[in-house]
Amino acid sequence: MMVKICGITNREDALAAIGGGAAALGFNFYPASPRYIAPEAAADLISSLPAVWKVGVFVDEAPQRVLGIARQAGLDIAQLHGSESRENYPQGIRVWKAIRVRHGQATEDVDSPAEAVLVDGPGSGETFDWRDVPRFAGKLILAGGLDAGNVARAIAQANPWGVDACSRLESAPGRKDHSKMAEFLKAALGATA
């Protein structure tokens, strides 16, 4: 099970996530987000981290801008949360495409050329019926309101390749509660044992 902790803005949270078993960390480059991190700050932070996938979260950014930030910050993966068409995916970096589920329906086509599709709830930190996750041939990452209390059930119902959590693991936007994060990581990794 691939487990990603998103919304990382500082070294302490990053190291706690990695220490708990996270395989990937998410860095949000959407300026309107309370979890936004400037590319320069992300580069400084990422350069000091041990080996883990570094995922940049982007919303409706031009492919060249995504690639520029990816090079500057040292990202491994671009996670696209906007209305990007498959023809507009950045080339030369791994891509995960995020889609939302509303009222049991995916808001976008899940047949994506991306390496993985991240299925998220209708809004930030909101859960949805995990049995409504659309089926497709690629890797599925489940997100949306996951925490230690529900991640095992979500994994059992949706059978994802990975899970991603952010807001329910925070003490404040952009600041992780290390106890909540450790409990989530233990529950997620234990659900697949």
Q: One of 6, 13, 164, 166 is an active-site residue; which one? A: 6
Cα distances (Å, whole numbers) of residue 186 to 23, 137, 179: 13, 28, 11
Q: What is the C-alpha separation between 62 and 70, in angstroms, rounded?
A: 12
Q: One of 120, 147, 164, 166 is an active-site residue; which one? A: 120
Name the DSSP class of 59: S
Q: What is the C-alpha separation between 42 and 52, in angstroms, rounded?
A: 14
Active site residue 6: yes
Active site residue 120: yes
Q: What is the C-alpha separation between 14 and 46, in angstroms, rounded?
A: 9
Q: Are 132 and 101 in contact (CB under 8 A)?
A: yes
Give catalytic residue positions: 6, 120
